Amino acid sequence: MPDKKTKIILSIETSCDETAIAVLKCSGNIKKPIFKIIANEVSSQIKIHRPFGGVVPNLAKREHIKNLPKIYQKIKKEVVGLERKIDLVSVTVGPGLEPALWTGITFAQDLAQKIKKPLIGANHMEGHLFGFLLSEQENKLDFPAIGLVVSGGHTVLLKMTSLTKWEKLGETVDDAVGEAFDKVARILDLPYPGGPEIERLALSLPKGEKPSINFPRPMLNQHNYDFSFSGLKTSVLYYLRDNPKTNKANIAASFQQAAIDVLTKKAMKAAEEFSAKSIILCGGVACNKTLRETIRKESEKRGLSFFAPEMKFNTDNAAMIGAATYIHILAKKKSLKIEADSTLNL
């Protein structure tokens, strides 16, 4: 007999340019939530948005409308008796692109009504934050923990005293770090999304050669936990304008190093100030191996346990939305309104 708390959650994510549906078996308690992935489908729209150099909201909406029924049918084939098994449906209500969010919400409302199951709204950023729980963890998550959410839309530093209680220490005052990667990629004539392209170009710097351009480390020495990446991006623009012959791999690696330095130093400063025992790194930019390894090493040096989602759960997916929904239920937090909230935060 499954215990009373075991829930099968079907989750839907359409906040940006990935259409995703997942089915998760969720059990355990808030001290040790357990997730088993029954199905997890992500359909990326990168190729569609690439010619425009970024995500076009109305194109994203059109693609989500087209993809959602297809993905749902695929999952229905994968999971025998799917509609009987689902206990509840959850959907990202924000933050994200409003037209894109609404497509997921409308689809989820129709589905929940059809199969007569409750519908719960989920916060996309909580999804990123809890993505690491989808995989088996080597270390025990002890609190306080510092959470660093680094995505295309956000850069947030949190102090967490449990999985359900946190305080925002700081966030970006202008561009998100992922946005800076994307914009610098455009400056360097690299395709969208720029993060992975910058990382690839940075890694092409010959072995033994270090990034040598000293780009600014914005807000590094300020006594707060806010970030700013817009000036760093502009410095890259001016540097290339004034030094057009510079090796682009050196520019990419130097920019990446500046961004990583700021993120790492601020996260470690917070860890020291609040005597943290763990660090959680998450969001699309957490795919960056140099960032991951730098924060892992710096954490281990200080005796902190390091947590980050598996690579496939860093960028947008619906499994993380299912995990966030289960944590939300366990925490007995107030339900989110079932309507698109593009500015929802942590």
| Residues in contact with ligand KG4 by the rule CB under 6 A | 16, 128, 151-153, 178-179, 181-182, 193-196, 199, 283-285, 287-288, 315-316
Which among 272, 252, 249, 248 has a CA at the least distance from the CA of 260? 252
| Residues binding Zn ion: number (CB under 5 A) | 2
Question: Is the Cβ of residue 150 or residue 304 nearer to Zn ion in the bound state?
Answer: 150
Q: What minimum distance in Å lies between the beta carbon of 31 and ligand KG4?
A: 27
Contacts of residue 116, Cβ cutoff 8 Å, sequence gap at least 6: none
Residue 195 binding: pick among ligand KG4, Zn ion, none (C-beta 5-8 Å cut-off by kind): ligand KG4
Dig out the tokens for 281 from the structure: 């790194």
Residue 199 binding: pick among Zn ion, ligand KG4, none (C-beta 5-8 Å cut-off by kind): ligand KG4
Which among 195, 192, 193 has a CA at the least distance from the CA of 259? 195
Task: Mark the segment that binds Zn ion (CB under 5 A) among 6-14, 150-158, 176-184, 222-230.
Answer: 150-158
Q: What minimum distance in Å lies between the beta carbon of 237 and ligand KG4?
A: 17
Can you tell me which of 126, 197, 316, 341 binds Zn ion, judged by CB under 5 A? 316
Interatomic CA distance for residues 264 and 134, integer angstroms: 24
Which amino acid, one-letter code, is at 336? L
Task: Mark the segment that binds Zn ion (CB under 5 A) among 73-81, 98-106, 255-263, 309-317.
Answer: 309-317
Residue 340 binding: pick among ligand KG4, Zn ion, none (C-beta 5-8 Å cut-off by kind): none
Which amino acid, one-letter code, is at 301? K
Residue 229 binding: pick among ligand KG4, Zn ion, none (C-beta 5-8 Å cut-off by kind): none
Which among 158, 182, 155, 185 has a CA at the least distance from the CA of 169? 158
C-beta atoms surrounding 238 within 10 Å: 10
With tokens 């795919």, the residue in question is: 287
Site for Zn ion contains 151 (CB under 5 A): yes
Q: Which residues pair with 167 in a beta bridge?
A: 159
Q: Which residues bind Zn ion (CB under 5 A)?
A: 151, 316
